Amino acid sequence: MQNPTVQPGAKPRGGYAVVLPWGIGLVAFLVIMGTRVLDPGNIAWLSSGDSSQHYLGWSFFRQTEWTFPIGLNPRYGLELSNAIVYSDSNPLLAFLFKPFAGWMGQDFQYFGFWLLACFLLQGWMAYRLIGLATGDPALRALGAVFFAFAPPMLIRMTDHLNLSGHFLLLGSLYLVFAPLVRRRRLAWGALLALGALVHAYLFIMVAALWGVDLLGRLLRRSLNLRAVLLEGVLLIGIVAVLAWQAGYFSVGGGGSTGGYGYYRANLISFVNPLGWSHVLRDQAQGGGDYEGAAYLGLGMLLLLVFGMARVAADPRGALAGAGRHWVAYLGLAGFFVFALSNNVGLGTHTWSYPIPGFFDKLAGYFRSSGRMLWVVYYAVFFAAIVLVVRGYPRRVALVLLGLALAVQLADTSAGWRPLRAHWGKTPGGDWNLPMRDPFWEAAATRYTRLRWAPPENAGPYWRELSAFADKHGMATDAIYLARVRYRALETQRADIARRVETGEYDPDTLYVLADGAFGAAVMLGDRERDLFARIDGLNVIAPGWKGCRDCPGLAHEADAQGSMPPLASGASLSFTEADNGGARYLGLGWSQREAWGTWSDGRHASLLLPLDRSAPRELLLDVQPLLGENLPAQRVQVRVDGAEVADFTVTARQTVSLAVPGAPQGGVRMTRVELTLPDAARPVDIGGGEDLRRLGLGLIGLTVR
């Protein structure tokens, strides 16, 4: 039975009805977030996690001359760089604010304005969506508050700021379920354009819902095939141009990272609070299932009970007219299945089924599939509210909505109240960087580039180095990007390996090296010309520093003997994170040390060992191979000073013996041991979790005989 006092779509009288939906978003923003994030000079709340990535990408972009396409951001990444879209810096706002960069201070952020806009538009879009079921402003307002306090949106506002634009999903659902929409094509064009200029995941969800809408209207004959094709060509063309200008196509070799099936939704996502409930306890789930966090809240669960009670009492009346949206329901089912992935999780249990290789590769473009559950989540919100406002008399519906909303806010405050401290940090522009020594300020005036070696995406000091480079107008490859040019990454790794071996460094570049690479650089470099030092915990190479009269000296420079002591017969090295002794002998091609040892990263890795070569030596390597699905072994090819000495296969942890021939001239010589690993693989591709590194051989220890 339907009992709304105002017919769906009716325009309530009074100016308050215009202000009300915006007021809902504003109040939610003030209650949850406060106003400190609106200070453009306040970047303190952006100093950690992915938020720092978003800010730094924008900060480099605003200091860079305009390019074509306009979204390119070459100073943030150098050869690895691509575009503003891949630092998730909100290209839409970056394009709008960049023309005014000359009037901005040292620190300027627009992300607080973005979050305010998300709240305002979330309230407005929710109000419009619920208006499809009732024109009563009180019922619409109560329902809209559920959306304004939705946990999946609020969770993203702490870190993945651009993914907070859930109003795009609500707007898309409105267009899908609305029977008639004025300027419908324009509305879809705006949503698709905004999605493309905000975040790729939001865009693909909007685009999928657009496809659902086109198909549904075609089958209902409200659009003919010619109109559908015309709309498709027009809007796809517009979006393609925007994506090109935003820099989506700047990454060569495709943008798929693989790994579909790890960052999934779980079958218990709707009822697993993950810290967002005062009543329900968190339930264990898979390691990557946090991407599918979608707790409905006790109030919404209660509202679903009220709604289903009406369905049970009067199914024909409660579901009247629902059948015409069957295409939308199929689309929502598709979102749900994709979000779960082919590795379906129920708590900590997983059931997997095979999928075609081409689909797995295609899905890898959007490997965080759990996010697709958001569309279903908001559809559930909408359905529960519709069942209540249409199934009960107005007064009863108001009471039920009010009761459920009170329960919802009280329950989910377990999650959003503690977050206010994050957004309410004392305003400021200081990220408390570790660069305290006067050397850094002097170096910033001498060098135009700052590099991390060996190059990698999201290396251990990327945030500190990027922030320092940004503050001093330097370009850098110490970056964190959603996608990088992996061929360029391999090229740069080869380049830095050559520079370490030859001791020839770019005179305009300041280098910061990982421990392993630094030891080799000190041993092989020109210490009469270049500065090699550990400053504020960072390994630094400053080319040409010794020839600079105005450059400050340092009391403690690195020396070859201290960096890499010669290894006598019987010497043993450990490559665990607890032992720094072995790290200095690691050349390039190694990842960060872990509790058990150190993985090779890439298909090539090296050791640099100062050995007494007056007699042949034997090296005993304690190694562990990366194994997994369809990867039963690792092949290893070994060269010593360019000469091939071994070629073997490792199927389990074992000790490998390598023969090092003697040298005619004898004495201590720097010996280069090169490992080639043709079977190196990414754990994410072989069922090994989320790891995107290309691993092959784990090095645990080494003994010289």
Q: What is the mean pLDDT of residues 47-67?
A: 95
Structural domain boundaries in the chain: 16-40+110-423, 438-562, 572-704
Q: 692 versus 462: which is more confidently predicted?
A: 462
Per residue in 432-479, pLDDT (tens digit) is 899 999 999 999 999 999 999 989 999 889 999 999 999 999 999 999
Band the pLDDT of 265: cuts 50, 70, 90: very high
Instruction: Kindly write down the DSSP assignment for every residue of 1-63, as one continuous string.
Output: ----SS-TT---SSTHHHHHHHHHHHHHHHHHT-SGGG-TT--GGGSSHHHHHHHHHHHHHHT
Most confident range, picked from 262-276, 475-489, 512-526, 661-675: 262-276
Asked whether the predicted pLDDT for residue 110 surpasses 50, the reply is: yes
Whether domain 572-704 has CATH 1.10.10.10: the reply is no
For residue 578, the model assigns a pLDDT of 87
pLDDT for 581-607, tens place per residue? Answer: 888 888 888 888 899 999 999 899 999
**Helix axis angle, 200-219 to 373-391, nearest 10°:** 50
Mean pLDDT of 312-316: 88
pLDDT over 80 (residue 662)? no
Given a cut of 80, whether residue 561 has pLDDT beyond it is no
Q: Which amino acid does the sequence have at 455?
A: P
pLDDT over 60 (residue 255): no
Residue 494's identity, in one-letter code, is: A
Please report, as a single letter, which amino acid is at residue 547: G
Q: Are 439 and 535 in contact (CB under 8 A)?
A: yes
| 162 close to 422: Cβ distance less than 8 angstroms | no
pTM: 0.90
Q: pLDDT averaged over the chain?
A: 92
Query: Has residue 3 got a pLDDT over 60?
Result: no
Mean pLDDT of 93-104: 94
Least confident of 564-568, 626-630, 653-657: 564-568
Distance CA 486, CA 492 (A): 10
Is residue 323 very low, low, confident or very high in pLDDT (cuts 50, 70, 90)? confident
Average pLDDT over residues 284-303: 96
Instruction: Annotate 64-127 with DSSP letters as a single string.
Output: SPP-SSTTB-TTBTGGG--BGGGGT--HHHHHHHGGGGGGS-SS---HHHHHHHHHHHHHHHHH
